[in-house]
A and B are shown apart, each in its own frame.
Chain A
Amino acid sequence: MSKEYETVIGLEVHVELATKTKIFCGCSTAFGGSPNSHTCPVCTGMPGSLPVLNKKVLEYAVAVGLAANCRITRYCKFDRKNYFYPDNPQNYQISQLYLPICTDGWVEIETPEGQKKIGIHEIHMEEDAGKLIHDEWEDRTLVDYNRSGVPLIEIVSEPDMRSADEVISYLEKLRLIIQYLGASDCKLQEGSMRADVNLSVREKGETAFGTRTEMKNLNSFRAIARAIEGEKNRQIDLLESGEKVVQETRRWDDAKETSYPMRSKEDAQDYRYFPDPDLVPVSISDAFLEEIRAKQPELRTEKMKRYREEYDIPEYDIEIITGSKHMADIFEATVSLGAQPKKVSNWLMGETLRLLKEKEMDPEEIRFSPEHLAGLIALTEEKAVNSTVAKEVFGVMFEEDIDPQRYVEEKGLKTVSDEGALRRTVEEVIAANPQSVQDYRNGKEKAIGFLVGQTMKAMKGKADPGSVNRLLKELL
């Protein structure tokens, strides 16, 4: 490569909002359900049906906009985007073009060079489409409108990112903001967060933008990073060999690590956008805006600051715990039940992370309740179970959210606190292992470990190792 290039990236991020009902009708947004079971005349485009805006969608969109430092459009409208495709029952999608709900915002990301602001051009509200199911056997296509009308917001960034790392940081930041607001679970794999990447390259120092392409079908952070790398190289190769980049939409194939053109600018459709006459313009009152502002939950940056002040736990723990709204919620709820912050943090940072990794789960998928974690911590505090038993119980709790107190009771895992029984077992172990006893007495401190182990084994693990140690030393 003779010249130095700079990559310019802007993102269009679609986020499915966590409302109970759809954007323009009362149908459930719940995932699953047999095909077309969550539908009505409105979301199947029946003649004569009319849309009515779900206020919760507006609340979430405004909340995200405020968190992303946007200007809220006080008089906004919905527009129709017209195109024919069977997943879209009306053959137009209700979206926002001319007066989107939020404009001119930014979020801050961390880069090796320090903090960087990524501009947000706009956020708009729109409806999702249905799903086509191709029946190869019958050679026909079926349509499921359960997703039709599920509310989305599209967050359009400025072309402010320069590398895959910045893109990932930006997406992480958005994801955390939106999760903290409770506006969406933002799962890329399940499609509740989807990103399209607009990318161009230009020579370093150049101020004009190069010709960009849009990349679709990116359903993991890893795929996004690889797609950016791949597309950057493809464009540079084109320029280096004297060719031109064609403005087009490309589809990323993560398995093949390559992209294919989907459609070029020339055959881009004319969507004939115009204001939807079925929906009245939305006027946002001061009172509504204040209500949303007042309801804004503590976001991550504030939460981290508070943790530093309130809890005596390491910075690294704070970062990991607040990195998931769900985990932070569990942490705080468990602490509020009386557990010591450091102990709670240890369970989250240790066993929880280990099991999440082992089972390839997301922190958002943690199922155990704060009550049960607090219960388990209390059991260890009381020395009712030893740490080995506690981990075993936690493992079950992680899977099934069992009540640790009851579980320990039922399975008879409680540490035997009967001093007499323990003393008898220790005496038996001493009698049965004369060699180790001899070694210990000859000054081999380590030999006691073997004896502790033998005792624990005889007690089926239900002994407090501290007490065993003490008794052994006393009897020897």
Chain B
Amino acid sequence: MELLSLSAVELGAAVKEGKTTAVEAMRAVLDRIEQTEELYHCYVTVDRDGALARAKEVQKKIEAGELTGPLAGVPVAVKDNLCTEGILTTCASRILENFVPTFSAEAVLNLERAGAVLIGKTNMDEFAMGSTTETSAYGVTRNPRNPNHVPGGSSGGSAAAVAAGECFFALGSDTGGSIRQPAAFCGVVGMKPTYGTVSRYGLVAYGSSLDQIGPLCRNVEDCAVILEVIASHDKKDSTSVARSDTDFTSALVKDVSGMRIGIPRDYLGEGLDPEVKAAVRKAAALLEKNGAVVEEFDLSLVDYAIPAYYTIASAEASSNLERFDGIKYGFRAEAEGLHQMYKKTRSQGFGPEVKRRIMLGSFVLSSGYYDAYYLKALRVKAMIKKAFDDAFAKYDCILGPAAPTTAPELGKSLADPIKMYLGDIYTVSVNLAGLPGICLPCGEDSKGLPIGLQLIGDCFQEKKLLQAAYTYEQLSDSES
């Protein structure tokens, strides 16, 4: 049996049936990492010995009948901004080069309780700030579909690890598209759930009001299963929501008849690569052919999403990252006196993109500018939510691209940050409105790079998204 070709759910089933074991699966993943990691560099930390020990423990529990869930025995990679007890958690930043958390993130604990086995921690843009995984202090990750291209970001390590077979599935975090865009670039499935669905406890915060943890995986079924496991009401996170509708696998039904799907005209407008546009239109046509009611409409305020997003996310980040000061943990620069120590530690510990956003965020919160920038951005955020509310009065889902282009070549993005920020145009408004969004493959461009299809749902309507995505996946599989 070629273990690495299995989906997470298929592997879980094989382990359960005794066709393989958690240990064998982990060995297969570690062997693959051995072969391909030097090229792709998906991980900041591969906890080889720990992973094997955990796999053995889990296998014992599976055999004893203590672990029976669909993910029991399945190796998982976790983005390096999720705390893992006893395992280095760097956020791909020098400032946390030696930080070993004393507790694990709630989402990680939920996976462990379900028997998933942690392999290690994946590379990312430093503190999740970036769209290419090139701002990591620990080197770039390459796109397994074409190593001269970026995997996207910020959860680029997680997406690449799934695409490269260096894990069976992964966790990422999405503040402005950081799960969906790398999923698109690497040709995997990625989902950002409704804000509050997955506990943020243990996720090192970037933009607290926008951050959500979600899965990166091989197919939509895996996505539903993983989401079902990681979603939980957590009293340690005040923004966590108690939901009774987290039986996401019940939505894995191949049927879109009568489903109303809207495509915002602005999502197919200027700046969109023609090949991406064609693929997205083709996907919409396939759904329409199978009974969905598809139409284009005007979603207002699309152009305001990026400035509002960068204002809010940077403002929150400037405050969230204040705790990295060299006093309590992480990197400390040698210096005379407290203020010099603060300055040197933060100057040397943070990379340029992080510093840019800290400065931007500090500026928009500063006295005299707060109303003009931060408050105005919050008002735009509320208006964007309203625009989506209006859209969801008419449509079950919104369909569009995940990014304007396919994965850019390495080294081509960071020189022009504004252009890079504009690449988030189709993803950030989902975070501003707290909505769920899923990204799944819908073809390739002429260079053979994957194209991602994004489906956006109303708050708490993950099931509609999963159903539409599952149906599309089944239809396109049978077509090809």
> CB within 8 Å of B: which residues of A?
41, 44-53, 80, 82, 84, 86, 89-92, 143, 270, 272-274, 277-280
A-B CB contact pairs (8 Å), 21 listed: A45-B323, A47-B91, A47-B96, A47-B101, A48-B82, A48-B103, A48-B205, A50-B238, A52-B238, A80-B319, A82-B365, A89-B328, A143-B328, A272-B362, A272-B370, A277-B207, A277-B239, A277-B316, A278-B205, A279-B238, A280-B238
Query: Taking CB as reference atom, which chain A residue is nearest B201?
Result: A50
- How far, in angstroms, from A226 to B27 measured CA to CA in the complex? 76
Residues of chain B contacted by A274 (CB below 8 angstroms): 315-316, 319, 365, 370, 374
- How far, in angstroms, from A143 to B327 measured CA to CA in the complex? 9
Residues of chain B contacted by A51 (CB below 8 angstroms): 238
- The smallest beta-carbon distance between B105 and chain A, in angstroms, is 6
- How far, in angstroms, from A48 to B91 measured CA to CA in the complex? 11
Residues of chain A contacted by B318 (CB below 8 angstroms): 82, 272
* Number of B interface residues in the complex (CB < 8 A): 43
Extra pairs beyond A45-B328, A274-B374 (20, CB < 8 Å): A46-B103, A47-B323, A48-B101, A48-B205, A50-B201, A84-B322, A84-B325, A86-B327, A89-B328, A91-B322, A92-B319, A270-B367, A272-B318, A274-B315, A277-B239, A277-B316, A278-B205, A278-B238, A278-B239, A280-B239
Please list the 7 inter-chain residue pairs (A to B) with the smallest Cβ-Cβ separation, ordered nearest first.
A91-B322, A277-B209, A277-B208, A272-B365, A48-B202, A48-B83, A47-B204
- How far, in angstroms, from A49 to B342 measured CA to CA in the complex? 22
Chain B CB within 10 Å, residue with most, of A50, A143, A270:
A50
Query: Taking CB as reference atom, which chain B residue is nearest A270?
Result: B367
User: CB < 8 Å: which of B325, B362, B367, B374 contacts A91?
Assistant: B325
B203–A48 touching, CB < 8 Å: yes
Is there a chain A Cβ closer than 8 Å to B89's Cβ? Answer: yes
B201–A46 touching, CB < 8 Å: no
- The smallest beta-carbon distance between B100 and chain A, in angstroms, is 11
Residues of chain B contacted by A50 (CB below 8 angstroms): 200-201, 236-238
- The smallest beta-carbon distance between B448 and chain A, in angstroms, is 38
Query: Taking CB as reference atom, which chain B residue is nearest A42?
Result: B236
Residues of chain A contacted by B209 (CB below 8 angstroms): 277
B338–A86 touching, CB < 8 Å: yes
User: CB < 8 Å: which of A48, A52, A278, A280 contacts B235?
Assistant: A52
- The smallest beta-carbon distance between A25 and chain B, in angstroms, is 9
A91–B366 touching, CB < 8 Å: no
Query: Taking CB as reference atom, which chain B residue is nearest A280?
Result: B238
Residues of chain A contacted by B83 (CB below 8 angstroms): 47-48
Is there a chain A Cβ closer than 8 Å to B102's Cβ? Answer: yes
How many inter-chain residue pairs (CB < 8 Å) link A and B?
96
Is there a chain A Cβ closer than 8 Å to B99's Cβ? Answer: yes
Query: Taking CB as reference atom, which chain B residue is nearest A91?
Result: B322
Query: Which secondary structure dominates where chain A touches chain B?
Result: loop
User: CB < 8 Å: which of B201, B327, B338 contacts A49?
Assistant: B201
Residues of chain B contacted by A52 (CB below 8 angstroms): 235-238
- The smallest beta-carbon distance between B195 and chain A, in angstroms, is 11
- How far, in angstroms, from A49 to B238 measured CA to CA in the complex? 11
Which residues B132-160 have CB closer than 8 A to chain A? none
What sequence of 0s and 1s flags, for each residue 208-241 of chain B, a beta carbon within 8 Å of any chain A beta carbon?
A: 1100000000000000000000000001111100
- How far, in angstroms, from A51 to B208 measured CA to CA in the complex? 12
- How far, in angstroms, from A273 to B328 measured CA to CA in the complex? 24
- The smallest beta-carbon distance between A286 and chain B, in angstroms, is 22
Query: Taking CB as reference atom, which chain B residue is nearest A83?
Result: B322
- How far, in angstroms, from A48 to B328 measured CA to CA in the complex? 14
Residues of chain B contacted by A273 (CB below 8 angstroms): 365, 370
Query: Taking CB as reference atom, which chain B residue is nearest A41?
Result: B103
Residues of chain A contacted by B324 (CB below 8 angstroms): 47
- How far, in angstroms, from A296 to B68 measured CA to CA in the complex? 53
B338–A53 touching, CB < 8 Å: no
A44–B322 touching, CB < 8 Å: no
Residues of chain A contacted by B235 (CB below 8 angstroms): 52
B319–A272 touching, CB < 8 Å: yes
- How far, in angstroms, from A92 to B342 measured CA to CA in the complex? 15
Which residues B296-333 have CB closer than 8 A to chain A? 315-316, 318-319, 322-325, 327-329
- The smallest beta-carbon distance between B184 and chain A, in angstroms, is 27
Query: Taking CB as reference atom, which chain B residue is nearest A141?
Result: B338
Residues of chain A contacted by B201 (CB below 8 angstroms): 48-50
Residues of chain B contacted by A90 (CB below 8 angstroms): 322-323
- The smallest beta-carbon distance between B360 and chain A, in angstroms, is 12
- How far, in angstroms, from A373 to B99 measured CA to CA in the complex? 58
Query: Taking CB as reference atom, which chain B residue is nearest A271?
Result: B367
- How far, in angstroms, from A82 to B324 measured CA to CA in the complex? 13
- The answer to whether A82 and B101 touch (CB under 8 A), given A47-B96, A48-B205, is no
- The answer to whether A82 and B238 touch (CB under 8 A), given A45-B328, A272-B367, is no
Residues of chain A contacted by B328 (CB below 8 angstroms): 44-46, 89, 143
What sequence of 0s and 1s flags, for each residue 4-47 of chain B, a beta carbon within 8 Å of any chain A beta carbon?
A: 00000000000000000000000000000000000000000000
Which residues B361-410 have CB closer than 8 A to chain A? 362, 365-367, 370, 374
User: CB < 8 Å: which of B99, B103, B203, B366 contacts A272?
Assistant: B366
Residues of chain A contacted by B105 (CB below 8 angstroms): 48
- How far, in angstroms, from A34 to B103 measured CA to CA in the complex? 22
- How far, in angstroms, from A277 to B202 measured CA to CA in the complex? 15
- How far, in angstroms, from A44 to B328 measured CA to CA in the complex? 8
Query: Taking CB as reference atom, which chain A residue is nearest B84?
Result: A48
Residues of chain B contacted by A80 (CB below 8 angstroms): 319
Chain B CB within 10 Å, residue with most, of A41, A53, A274:
A274
B238–A47 touching, CB < 8 Å: no
- How far, in angstroms, from A330 to B208 measured CA to CA in the complex? 50
- How far, in angstroms, from A84 to B322 measured CA to CA in the complex? 8
Chain B CB within 10 Å, residue with most, of A49, A80, A86:
A49
Residues of chain B contacted by A48 (CB below 8 angstroms): 82-83, 101, 103, 105, 201-205
Chain B CB within 10 Å, residue with most, of A86, A89, A272, A280:
A272
- How far, in angstroms, from A280 to B236 measured CA to CA in the complex? 12
